[in-house]
A and B are shown apart, each in its own frame.
Chain A
Amino acid sequence: MSDHSHAHDDGKVHAHVSPFLFMVAIFGALVVLTVVTVAASRFDFGSANTLIAVLIATAKAALVATFFMHLKYDKGFHALIFVMSFVFLGVFLLITLEDVDTRGRVDNASTVRMHERRGEQAPGGFVLDPRGVQARERQPAGGGAHH
């Protein structure tokens, strides 16, 4: 307890009480951001689409965490571990993405679903349902990269 006894020495719980209207205002801001993110999805920013969505979501998450979850008035350590969880997740995502994105770079027949030269799909892979032949014809060109 040595690390908290300096704050208050009466041993009672001292929590911050947020004003009612302030909380409602935060909720308002969250609704506005929801509208923004829906609106943003109507436009195509190309590869930035996901990034924009994630950024707006992060803004919302930050509001919830700071005010609804009281991180602002809480111990800094709680904020630290909260942020750290995203950092570790980021490590997981980025290195795994790095693998998936760079497969076949050194040797274009390695770890790819299709043999470039022969145009043969690797066995054991995705099996097209024969009943869905028409579906396949309709498929957009870009999505068929792995077929």
Chain B
Amino acid sequence: MASAHSDHGHGDHPKFLAHHFDTPEQQFDAAKFGMWVFIVTEILMFGGLFVAYLIYKGQEPSVFIEAHRRLDWKLGSANTIVLLFSSLTAALAVRSSQLGKKNETTMWLMITIACAFVFMGIKYVEYSHKFHDGLLPGRYFTAHLPEHAHNGQVLPQRANMYFALYFMMTGLHGLHVLIGASALGYVLYRNLRGDFSPEYFTPVEIGALYWHLVDLVWIYLFPLVYLVG
């Protein structure tokens, strides 16, 4: 508590500073630390799926290789670039709000959110394709039937496991994209309202951190699921 005793007359207690914090720095650090701890929990949550994926892949590599050919690596790559780019714009949004450039922040945030929608759009195309081909998880998997043959070939029925994991992983990730986009939407709203300044840009920073996490998960998901069968 560096300036422990200056917390009384509300005069030098800025509006954005909650009553139980002494300094803006303390509040900023706490928020950021909190977000990092939260990121840790997200990593472990997604991690569970990655563990399941790697274990089943290790058990039946050839089935997984055959199954992963049914994903469209081009769409996957496109989505990778979209997310990487949105990560850049999110970082730039933080930068511009640090510099107090409100309009620029608005622009970067809007681009980031737009990227989220592009990503979900591409996902939609991919998903509807999979549904159509009977590439559904577990019990609903039908791509081993002759009517779903692809270039005259059908998948082994065991490939159901690959798609179970594919849908769980990308589905949960997609959900995070939506949550992240909504969080950024809220940040955007507060930015438009003029809440932020070079002294106070915590929500932008926190929102962007979360968005980078969404990107991080995809960075692992893309090569493991789309590229290495």
Find out whether A and B make contact in their complex, taking CB atoms under 8 A apart as touching.
yes
The chain A residues found within 8 Å of chain B, CB to CB, are 1, 4-5, 8-9, 11-15, 17-18, 20, 23-24, 26-27, 30-31, 34, 37-38, 40-41, 49-50, 53-54, 56-57, 60-61, 64-65, 67-69, 74-75, 77-78, 81-82, 84-86, 88-89, 92-93, 96-97, 100-101, 126, 128-129, 131-132, 134-136, 138-140, 142-147
Q: Once the chains are docked, how many angstroms separate the CA of A93 from the CA of B39?
A: 19
B157 within 8 A of A: yes
Kindly state the separation between the CA atoms of A75 and B154 in the bound complex, as whole angstroms: 53
Q: Which of B40, B47, B158 contacts A84 (CB 8 A)?
A: B40
Q: Is the CB of B51 within 8 A of A17?
A: no
In the complex, are the beta carbons of A12 and B43 less than 8 A apart?
no
Residues of A within 8 A of B39 (CB): 82, 85
The interface residues of chain A lying within 8 Å CB-to-CB of B153 are 138
B-side contacts of A50, CB under 8 Å: 54, 57, 224, 228
| Residue contact B47 to A126, C-beta cutoff 8 Å | no
Of residues 188 through 226 on chain B, the ones whose CB sits less than 8 Å from some CB of chain A are 199-202, 205, 208-209, 212, 215-216, 219-220, 222-224
Q: Does B178 contact A (CB under 8 A)?
A: no
Task: Tell me the nearest residue of chain A to B46, going by C-beta.
Answer: A89
Q: Min CB distance, B70 to chain A, in Å?
A: 14
- State the CA gap A77–B33 with chains docked (Å): 9
* A97–B26 CB distance below 8 A: no
Point out the residues of chain A lying under 8 angstroms from B157, CB to CB: 128-129, 132, 135-136
Contact A20 B95, beta carbon cutoff 8 Å: yes
Closest beta carbon of chain B to A131's beta carbon, Å: 6
Out of A37, A75, A140, A145, which one reaches B227, CB within 8 Å?
A37
User: Do A27 and B84 contact each other (CB < 8 Å), given the known contacts A65-B216, A88-B44?
Assistant: yes
Once the chains are docked, how many angstroms separate the CA of A49 from the CA of B224? 10
Set of chain A residues within 8 Å of B37, measured between Cβ atoms: 81
Q: Which residues of A contact B23 (CB under 8 A)?
A: 11-12
Residues of A within 8 A of B36 (CB): 78, 81-82
